[in-house]
Structure 1
Amino acid sequence: MNRDILNKAAEQGVISQQQVTPLLEFIQCYDETETEVTDPAHAEEQLKFIRNFGDIFITLGIAFVAVSISAMDLSGLLWLIPTGLFLLTSEWLVRARRLALPGIALLISTLFFVSRALGIEEFGNSSLQFLTLSLCSLLYYLRYRMPFSLMPTAAGIVAAIISQFGVDMVAHQYLFSLLGGAVFAVAMAFDARDRNRSQRYSDCAFWLHLLASPLIVHGMMTSILFSDSQLLSSGLFKEIGLLIFFLIFMLTALLVDRRAMLVSSLAYAIYAIFQVVENSPLEAENLPLFVFIGFGIFIVFFGTYWYKARSLIFGGLKASRLARYLPYI
């Protein structure tokens, strides 16, 4: 339902002109799936990049074309030919028809063809190329205002910095955390501008959170796992440290109301649990299965009562300054 339809209804005498605005506001804040008015403190992370199966169907077509072209024997600047064709397609599907999921496929394909034209071969010597890809993604965002574009924009900058220090993911674990923290800060800046989760800013933050989370988690988890500290090297302190970090990370995700953040930390949390279980005096033939079952049950219940837990744990922050930058508690 949009304003044009309501204006036509007013012109035909179905409703009065004075009822158009309040009726439109009511419809916009009404959750049809719940059949009740949506509480701003329960604004879900909507997957706005897909509307129907038609989007998937078009995306599959784009994928088939992109994969076929990538198998061609092209070299150098010839890769810019399919780049131009995909940009023209973006004008049609993204700018004119506003199709988000096909737009994601088009951008990824375009960046792939540009990377082939740039001749990226070794990660450690490709800082300038990564920055070029980042600039391409930024230009794509400025042209089409597609939130996903910010993710490869940030990823290109992160890759360029990491390539300067080396690809060793253990030797520079703190760098991953710092870069992840920077991306997280940018994501929160977007979130703070859209506390109702109803505008494009929230979608931008969603994709940036998906990038920031694995960077932060990898940096912190590897710092704990490969620490030379005598305290962490004794007993189960490393595994306990992993679980404590996961708990803190989980509470952070709950505070900023981003369940997507937890996905990247689950693998490390499962690893920590298995390490604790293996060193436990408790023995059972199907113990790994019970661990997975327990973890699955935890995810189901935590996901189901997400907002109740958020309100219970952080309800006291409603009147604080911090709450001004967070989704409604």
Structure 2
Amino acid sequence: MDRETLERAAQRGIISQQQLQQLILFSRAEQQDEDVGEEQLRFVRNFGDIFITLGVLFVAFSVAAMHLSQFEWLVPALLFLGAAEWLVRIRRLALPGIAILISTLYFLGKALGIAEFETATLQFITLSGASLLFYLRYRMPFSLLPVAAGLIAAVISSLGVDILKHQILFSVLGFSVFIAAMSFDARDRKRQLRASDCGFWLHLLASPLIVHGMMTTLLFNDSGLLASGSNREIALLLFFVVFLLIALFVDRRAMLVSSLSYAIYAIFKVVSSNLLDSNNLPLMVFIGFGVFIVLFGTYWYKLRRLIFGPLRGRWAARFVPEL
């Protein structure tokens, strides 16, 4: 019996939430160790989910193109919430639910009349609160991403600083989201329950914030140490290596997606200025980096045990999947 069937049984009161968790754990107890900890894409089950999501998006884009007054945007927002009752609460469709939530927040944002980012603190808090209510109602892990994103936008808006001049703030806020994600991961080290899915979406938000803030700070920092030679590009590569090791330790491949573009840029700059001078250099860099990703992804768990094996049983390993 699959997880969705068990969740529907719990929703209808056939089994309790405690029994649901025990059944999920029991059904996966015989999986091999290599499978434990994998980041499963549980928000899409089959092509039917994609097909329904396309329908939701067609409706959303069509409504978004209409000319409605400010408060008239509440009408499609409420209609999409009605669709959520059917598709998310009853049918348990996660991917269409994501499209519905994003569309609802867009229409709600239009109704709130967000004109300028610097004066929209209350509106961002409202959108974050709406996402939280969506999570409490439908228990859809993706809902936590707009909750955190709304709070981050509210903080930046309320500070009234020029974010382009203080981009390190992105990393500070991203690190706070990372801590929240790790709190969910620590509750589900075997990556079998909803807490792991919640952590996945928060990591997906935290990573680009951390990477963007650090990388842009390194790229545009005019300090003497970074301005000389290839120190800037080397610093970018060092940051990428550290970030890669953190992703490996917490067992989250999703963290690396946001840093790949910056890593490719840094590798290209270092290689082009020091080692090679060829018209095919960009292709060679991309090929080499692609091979690295394939090998790193293939031997992910072996590398994880090799590098962090000595931490097995230590306090630091109690918050991450088994080493």
Alignment match, 2:9: none
Distance change (3 Å), C-alpha of 1:281 and 1:57? closer
Structure 2 CA distance for aligned equivalents of residues 161 and 284 of structure 1: 46
The answer to whether 1:102 aligns with 2:99 is no
Distance change (3 Å), C-alpha of 1:168 and 1:291? farther
Per-residue Cα deviation, 1:207-230 (whole angstroms, up to 9, x for no partner):
000000011001111121122321
| Unpaired stretches in structure 1, ≥5 consecutive residues | 6-21, 31-36
Structure 2 CA distance for aligned equivalents of residues 298 and 79 of structure 1: 48
**2:293 corresponds to which of 295, 299, 308:** 299
Give me the CA root mean square deviation. Answer: 2.0
C-alpha contact (below 8 Å) 1:257/1:327 kept by paired residues? yes
C-alpha contact (below 8 Å) 2:24/2:192 kept by paired residues? no
Distance change (3 Å), C-alpha of 1:23 and 1:173? closer
SS of 1:279's partner is helix
Greater alpha carbon shift after TM alignment, 281-290 vs 199-208 = 281-290
C-alpha contact (below 8 Å) 1:130/1:157 kept by paired residues? yes
Alignment of 1:207-246 (within 5 A): 207-246=201-240
Q: 1:136, CA displacement in angstroms? A: 0.4
Q: TM-score normalized by structure 1?
A: 0.89
SS of 2:258's partner is helix
**1:44 corresponds to which of 29, 38, 59:** 38
The answer to whether 1:156 aligns with 2:131 is no
Alignment match, 1:189: 183
Greater alpha carbon shift after TM alignment, 184-193 vs 285-294 = 285-294
Q: 1:43, CA displacement in angstroms? A: 2.2
Structure 2 CA distance for aligned equivalents of residues 295 and 108 of structure 1: 33
Alignment match, 2:66: 72
Distance change (3 Å), C-alpha of 1:168 and 1:297? farther
The answer to whether 1:55 aligns with 2:49 is yes
Structure 2 CA distance for aligned equivalents of residues 278 and 117 of structure 1: 50
Amino acid of the structure 2 residue aligned with 1:328: E
SS of 2:274's partner is coil
C-alpha contact (below 8 Å) 1:42/1:307 kept by paired residues? no
Alignment of 1:315-326 (within 5 A): 315-326=309-320
The answer to whether 1:289 aligns with 2:274 is no
Q: 1:281, CA displacement in angstroms? A: 4.8
Distance change (3 Å), C-alpha of 1:2 and 1:47? closer
| Unpaired stretches in structure 2, ≥5 consecutive residues | 6-21
